[in-house]
Amino acid sequence: MKYGLILFQVLINTAAQLLLKRGAELVNFSQPPFQILLSLLSNLYIWGGGFIFVISFLLWIYLLNQFELSFLYPFNNLTFVLAALGGWFFFNEDLNYYRIFGIGLIFTGVLFVAKS
């Protein structure tokens, strides 16, 4: 159960990142600042990502109360792993051998922490 709640927090944090990325792609940042602000405020992906971030943040606070920080925080790095995979899958971003190796190192490190 404890790993399930931690994994859920990581998943929704990653989902928020992916929604914000999609929202950012829809904004033309070469416009005047006021137009950019209006674009951001009217972007449902930005709102959705922000809302999910709030839920993720509240869950993170709860998890900090339940676990040692030195145990919990490395799991947060799984967001990097899932964001890289999500970027590759949803946005056709590059996933070269260096990134795959780095993802493997992060995942291995999290496994070691989980066993502690």
- Contacts of residue 84, defined as CB under 8 A and 6 or more positions apart, other chains included, come to 93, 95, 99, 103
Domain assignments of the chain as residue spans, ordered by start: 2-115
Of 1 and 34, which is predicted with more confidence? 34
Provide, rounded to the nearest whole percent, the portion of the chain with pLDDT above 90. Answer: 82
Q: pTM for this one?
A: 0.88
Q: For residues 11 and 5, what is the distance between their CA atoms, to the nearest angstrom?
A: 10
Q: For residues 88 and 2, what is the distance between their CA atoms, to the nearest angstrom?
A: 29
DSSP letter for each residue of 10-79: HHHHHHHHHHHHHHHHTS-TTS-HHHHHHHHHT-HHHHHHHHHHHHHHHHHHHHHHHS-HHHHHHHHTHH
- Given a cut of 90, whether residue 34 has pLDDT beyond it is yes
pLDDT digits (tens, 9 = 90+) for 39-67: 999 999 999 999 999 999 999 999 999 99
